[in-house]
Structure 1
Amino acid sequence: MWIRAILGAVLVCLLILYFLKRLQMQKKCPPGPPLYVTAATFIQAGFKLQPDMFTKLAKEYGAIYTLSEGTMPAIVVSGYEGIKEALIKYSKEFSGRPITPFFRAVAGERGLSSPNVHIWEPQRKFGLVTLRKLGLGQKVLQRQIEDLALQLAETFARENGQPFDPSAHFFSSIANVISALVFGHQFSPDDEEFLKLMYALDYSVHFGGTFFHLLYEAAPWLMKHIKWPYKEFFDARDLLASRARKEIEMHKTKLAGNDPRDFIDYYLLRIEESKNDPTSTFDDDTLIHYIGNFIFGGTETVIATLQWALLLMVHLPDIQEKVQKEMEDAFGFSQSISYEDRKKVPYTLAVIQEIQRFKCVILALTPRQCVEDVTILGFPIPKGALIIPDVHSVIYDSKIWETPHKFNPKHFLDKDGKFVNREELLIFGAGARDCMGKNLAKMELFYFFTTLLKAFTFKLPEGVTEVNLEPVSGVVFYPQHYKICALPRVY
């Protein structure tokens, strides 16, 4: 009897301490919606991530609000000024990367995703330098991407103008861009192991933002004991890691002195160079994590954007026609356009940028963690807080864009029709931990988009008159499955 009384007293004390700590944390954080409002928002969204869910809350609770309070309060920063101040002016203070319970279970705290500056900073510096060595911004990599774009056009041509779903074709092509950079080779689209890897990657990405993912983040102490909702996800993770480890072992047997051919070779050389350094963060397990970052970060968002691109072109045939005419006027009937010549097609560049704005494929920029107390727009942000930059509050802001909810390439053109690269398009992030692969992504989007629109006119299948522009909920916002016809252009 007395044991129960002691346990009860301990529980009451713990609850009192929890609520006192919660009240103390509330005083340090910006005001925000009560817990029941936050819960209702997710329930109304069907326990799925929706593009405008943060922006709706901002209309009621302001540009900076606390979504939840606890050991790691989640603070949403909305609006261009707030996000710019947080990510650029206070880049150092917001350079941390939070490790959520689910992410910790999946990948741990290695490499680029580590919250520790002494781990992620040298890894990021190495990655940026190595990407340049591998040809990022140079013609050798441009030719590889151009060749894959031309191969994709040949694949589309084999559909003979009949309705088809382009998603699998995009997946194969973009995945091979990353494969060439990281592994030093490309996969055949019919390779059985490649198909398994594509399925594993696709499943992993679409699992993000689902009910069970969010439930794990909310109650990890319970979910880690319930295996069945997560088995297929962890199987997919293990398959990707297994392939990465296999590639690493093959590279070790073929590494030719100081003549690296791809990212794995460069990383293995770095491991060898730092083997006597006790502070080194370079090892095989971190390399596997790095490969996973490349594969996840370098495929899904580009693929989703290209899918939206074709869907919007069939939805807006006048835009498609203007892009095709500009390319013909600038380059005639040449088979492709070099990346260096992109300034000759300002309208085409504006359309690509507007596709990324109008159908942004991410809910928010990659979350940051505040590494020291700071004040943003007059609001205190405590050390340890998780920061969610609400990118949708910027790309649909009527104070910034003339027609935020209407597709309008003029958003990226000046009065003389010249292309304007606007900094308000924050889709690649900003500051110390912006997207490492942003220049690669821009190059891919340019080559694939221009190659396909030079080769084909895209139309809806016969009998289909409407286009569904509602996204599929998730960590990456894809369009609903659709079919189109790629009609070869006759010059």
Structure 2
Amino acid sequence: CLLLNLLLSVYISYVYWDIKSLLVFFVVFILTADYVKNKRPVNFPPGPRMFPIVGNIFSVDRKKMHESITELAQTYGDVYSLRIGQRWMVVINGFEVLKEALITQGDSFADRPDLPLQVDMFQQLAFSNGNLWKQQRRFTLSTLKYFGFGKRSLEPVILEEFTHITKVIRGYKGKPFNPHIFLNNIVSNIICLLVFGHRFEYDDEKFKKITKLFEKGLQLEGSIWTQLYDSFPKLMRCLPGPHQTALNIWKNSKNFIHTKVEDHKQNLDPSDPRDYIDCYLNEIQMTKGQADSTFDEDNLVACVLDLFVPGTETTATTLRWAFLYMAKYPEIQEKVQAEIDLVIGLSRQPSMEDRVNMPYTDAVIHEIMRMANIVPLNLPHATSREVQLRGYTIPKGMTVITNLTSVLFDKNEWETPHTFNPGHFLNEEGKFVKRAAFIPFSAGKRVCLGENLARMELFLFFTSFMQHYTFAMPAGVKPVLDYSFGLILPPLDYEICAIPRQK
């Protein structure tokens, strides 16, 4: 019996050490394989030390990722690398380097990376490449121009939308309110008119729900869950978490657009298109059977989503920052209002023609956009071929982060980069000066498709608000210029008072 117990003890010990050795071997093998697979290539940009498997996921502050990435450039240079999970990326910082990449070598940096989350969400226009991107972008630009996109013919539409929101604000009688939803509504209604052919009332529950979903989706896209999903897609598809919420948000958003497409199909007159969806449905019919055609209903839904979300969130978020900055700097708000009173007065509506005679207001709007830094890390790019940049070799297909934060706050380009200073856009005579380093809409071949419309909306909406109201924080409350990090950089929710100006 003693002998049996001894043999059993030896056997168990052997099995235990055998399993332990196997686990040690497995761990060493995984770590070695990860090191060999993810070793920096020859002449690849430098970067911070990495953890096994997860790389540099924990090297940056997820709540202030754009600031962390900008700070890393002070240590590793304007061109450096990060490994997020199993995916390498190159980060480009500073105006001169971004200009070299996006403009001088624009063809080489014009692609988008193949990101698993984007593929699963099926957002085609912004993250597509090759013939698909070229066809869809060309068609979208020409169609929206046909409906006045970025042209003066949209002025009455924008100004009419302002009359709707001013009725709502008037109801608060100078008392505090949260401008968040209202600003989303007025901006998204401009896109709605172009895409759907009609605007929504502000109390429309479906409309309110879908705009909230868009904002939530963009916030989740800028979170660590997106990085984990793109790094370990097979695993993350099976796991619960906020990434599943993001997928459901875009699924519900696409269903909303699908219903609009079906409504259009029931009342389509090919000879008299009413909006973007009508034109796209016509294009599907005209290109049916062509081998290289990329026009179908799935791409239509994806393109509408791409137009609707950025077209709403970026401009509305900029206006939310505008109210905050005007409340924080009342002396600047007074100078804007004085210029409006001089050039426009209080009775007539503003026009884009007024902008040339309003250099200070124009400068303030540009400084709001610079300081707000709405899309801090831009949308990711990818190299279409092997590229030489600042002495480093960037392989074909590499994800590239063009850090707009590093440009909009570049100390070599701005006299007081971290101070709200409209003088950045004024010369000694007080005339407006366009700055080359002002690229909140990105630059090169992937410049924001809606830049002209956004500029028009910002000028007309901002000037109209300043013409009719003085913005101030509630009694005893100071403006908080803090943000919530995501793909878009919105301010924290706040309440503000819109005090009607005396006519």
Please indicate, yes or no, whether the TM-score normalized by the shorter chain is above 0.5.
yes
* CA distance in structure 1 between the partners assigned to 2:430 and 2:144 by the alignment: 33
Any residues of structure 2 matched to 1:10-25 within 5 Å, and which?
19-23=35-39, 25=40
2:492 is aligned to: 480
* CA distance in structure 2 between the partners assigned to 1:228 and 1:375 by the alignment: 39
* CA distance in structure 2 between the partners assigned to 1:426 and 1:139 by the alignment: 23
Instruction: Summarize deviations over 1:92-131 as a string: whole Å, max 9, x none.
Output: 11111012222222226x34421x3111011111111112
How far the C-alpha of 1:70 sits from its partner, in A, is: 8.2
Q: Return the TM-score normalized by structure 2.
A: 0.91
User: Cα 1:391–1:111, aligned 2, differ >3 Å: closer, same or farther?
Assistant: closer
Q: Which moved more, 1:140-149 or 1:89-98?
A: 140-149
Any residues of structure 2 matched to 1:344-383 within 5 Å, and which?
344-383=357-396
Q: Which runs of 5+ in 1 are unaligned?
A: none
- Say yes or no: does 1:417 pair with 2:447: no
Contact 1:112–1:119 (8 Å) recurs in 2: no
Letter in 2 for 1:41: S
Letter in 2 for 1:162: K
Which among 212, 216, 227 is matched to residue 203 of structure 1? 216
* CA distance in structure 2 between the partners assigned to 1:238 and 1:202 by the alignment: 14
* CA distance in structure 2 between the partners assigned to 1:438 and 1:58 by the alignment: 28
Which among 127, 141, 155 is matched to residue 142 of structure 1? 155
How far the C-alpha of 1:363 sits from its partner, in A, is: 2.2
* CA distance in structure 1 between the partners assigned to 2:86 and 2:220 by the alignment: 26
Which among 55, 60, 66 is matched to residue 70 of structure 2? 55
| 3-state SS of 1:477 partner | coil
| 3-state SS of 1:487 partner | strand
Contact 2:85–2:232 (8 Å) recurs in 1: no
* CA distance in structure 1 between the partners assigned to 2:498 and 2:84 by the alignment: 51
Contact 1:49–1:209 (8 Å) recurs in 2: no
Which among 235, 260, 264 is matched to residue 277 of structure 2? 264
Which among 122, 131, 134 is matched to residue 144 of structure 2? 131
Contact 1:150–1:451 (8 Å) recurs in 2: no
Letter in 1 for 2:183: F
- Say yes or no: does 1:314 pair with 2:302: no
- Say yes or no: does 1:113 pair with 2:127: yes
- Say yes or no: does 1:252 pair with 2:276: no
How far the C-alpha of 1:441 sits from its partner, in A, is: 0.7
Deviating beyond 6 angstroms after TM superposition, the runs of 4 or more aligned structure 1 residues are 4-15
1:459 is aligned to: 472
1:41 is aligned to: 59
Calculate the aligned-residue CA RMSD, in Å. 2.3
How far the C-alpha of 1:253 sits from its partner, in A, is: 1.8
How far the C-alpha of 1:230 sits from its partner, in A, is: 3.7
Q: Which moved more, 1:311-320 or 1:197-206?
A: 197-206
Instruction: Summarize deviations over 1:26-80 as a string: whole Å, max 9, x none.
Output: 22421111114934433xx2x3343311111001100000112887520000011
Q: Which moved more, 1:467-476 or 1:216-225?
A: 216-225
2:9 is aligned to: none
User: Cα 1:253–1:236, aligned 2, differ >3 Å: closer, same or farther?
Assistant: same
1:333 is aligned to: 346
2:191 is aligned to: 178
How far the C-alpha of 1:215 sits from its partner, in A, is: 2.7
* CA distance in structure 1 between the partners assigned to 2:224 and 2:125 by the alignment: 28
Q: Return the TM-score normalized by structure 1.
A: 0.93
Letter in 2 for 1:50: M
- Say yes or no: does 1:68 pair with 2:80: no
- Say yes or no: does 1:386 pair with 2:404: no
User: Cα 1:231–1:380, aligned 2, differ >3 Å: closer, same or farther?
Assistant: closer
Letter in 1 for 2:59: T
Contact 2:63–2:484 (8 Å) recurs in 1: no
- Say yes or no: does 1:468 pair with 2:486: no
Letter in 1 for 2:36: L
1:77 is aligned to: 92
| 3-state SS of 1:400 partner | coil
- Say yes or no: does 1:234 pair with 2:247: yes
* CA distance in structure 2 between the partners assigned to 1:123 and 1:150 by the alignment: 34
User: Cα 1:410–1:308, aligned 2, differ >3 Å: closer, same or farther?
Assistant: same
| 3-state SS of 2:295 partner | coil
* CA distance in structure 2 between the partners assigned to 1:280 and 1:351 by the alignment: 44
2:4 is aligned to: none
Q: Larger Cα Rg: Structure 1 or Structure 2?
A: 2
User: Cα 1:407–1:9, aligned 2, differ >3 Å: closer, same or farther?
Assistant: closer
Contact 1:49–1:475 (8 Å) recurs in 2: no
How many residues were matched structurally? 482
* CA distance in structure 1 between the partners assigned to 2:402 and 2:105 by the alignment: 13
User: Cα 1:324–1:288, aligned 2, differ >3 Å: closer, same or farther?
Assistant: same
- Say yes or no: does 1:154 pair with 2:172: no
Letter in 2 for 1:173: I
Contact 1:48–1:209 (8 Å) recurs in 2: no
* CA distance in structure 2 between the partners assigned to 1:463 and 1:8 by the alignment: 62
How far the C-alpha of 1:222 sits from its partner, in A, is: 1.8
Contact 1:49–1:363 (8 Å) recurs in 2: no
Q: Which moved more, 1:333-342 or 1:179-188?
A: 333-342
- Say yes or no: does 1:92 pair with 2:107: yes
Instruction: Summarize deviations over 1:161-193 as a string: whole Å, max 9, x none.
Output: 101111111011111111111100111111121
1:433 is aligned to: 446
How far the C-alpha of 1:210 sits from its partner, in A, is: 2.6
* CA distance in structure 2 between the partners assigned to 1:328 and 1:21 by the alignment: 65
| 3-state SS of 1:93 partner | helix
Letter in 2 for 1:478: P
How far the C-alpha of 1:221 sits from its partner, in A, is: 2.5
* CA distance in structure 1 between the partners assigned to 2:25 and 2:178 by the alignment: 62
Contact 1:326–1:348 (8 Å) recurs in 2: yes
Letter in 2 for 1:193: K
| 3-state SS of 1:124 partner | helix
* CA distance in structure 2 between the partners assigned to 1:385 and 1:488 by the alignment: 53
Contact 2:161–2:186 (8 Å) recurs in 1: yes
Letter in 1 for 2:99: K
* CA distance in structure 1 between the partners assigned to 2:162 and 2:292 by the alignment: 42
User: Cα 1:167–1:10, aligned 2, differ >3 Å: closer, same or farther?
Assistant: closer
1:29 is aligned to: 44
